[in-house]
């Protein structure tokens, strides 16, 4: 595996555009490395139930648990792994999660594109 602490990624929302960000290995190394090893990832995304607070990609299948730096409060643009539901989440606004999650990265640009997405949209995450 690479020695880099930040891995640049691109999140493509098919038909809408792309977000740029990076995965941060030192916050949750097991979760981040498992995600990096699965790249590119293509899943159908959806919003949280009834609201547009976060975009979720369920069924990522990495099955990594909590770590000492797991938190329940996340900030706008955070990329988090929720081990309880085995899903990758991109937060659109700061919020309190119902359980602790592992922060694995950050979206750096074009976060507002997620608001144009509809449930079931194919989302591709790839290394740049």
- Per-residue pLDDT tens for 33-71? 999 999 999 999 999 777 889 999 999 999 888 888 899
Within a domain: 90: yes
Distances (CA, A) of 24 to 82, 95, 118: 16, 20, 27
Question: Can you give the length of the chain in residues?
Answer: 128
pLDDT at 122 over 60: yes
Within a domain: 22: yes
Q: How many domains does the chain have?
A: 1
Within a domain: 51: yes
Question: What's the pLDDT band for 83 if we cut at 50, 70, 90?
Answer: very high
Domain that holds residue 28: 6-127
Phi, psi for residue 84 in degrees, rounded to 5: -65, -40
Within a domain: 1: no
pTM for the model stands at: 0.92
Q: What is the CATH number of the domain that holds 24?
A: 2.40.100.20
What 80-83 contacts at long range (C-beta under 8 Å, 24+ apart), as own/partner pairs, is: 80/104, 81/28, 81/31, 81/35, 83/31
Within a domain: 79: yes
pLDDT score for 3: 52
Q: Do 34 and 64 contact (CB within 8 A), yes or no?
A: yes
């Amino acid at each position: 595996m690479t020695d880099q602490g930040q891995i640049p990624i691109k999140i493509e929302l098919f038909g809408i555009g792309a977000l740029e960000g990076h995965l941060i290995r030192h916050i949750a190394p097991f979760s981040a490395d498992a995600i990096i090893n699965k790249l590119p990832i293509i899943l159908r995304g959806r919003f949280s139930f009834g609201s547009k607070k976060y975009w979720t990609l369920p069924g990522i299948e990495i099955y990594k648990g909590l770590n000492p730096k797991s938190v329940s409060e996340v900030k706008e643009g955070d990329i988090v792994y929720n081990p309880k539901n085995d899903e990758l989440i991109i937060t659109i606004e700061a919020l309190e999660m119902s359980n602790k999650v592992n922060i694995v990265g950050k979206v750096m640009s074009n976060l507002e594109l997620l608001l144009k997405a509809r449930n079931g949209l194919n989302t591709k995450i790839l290394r740049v």
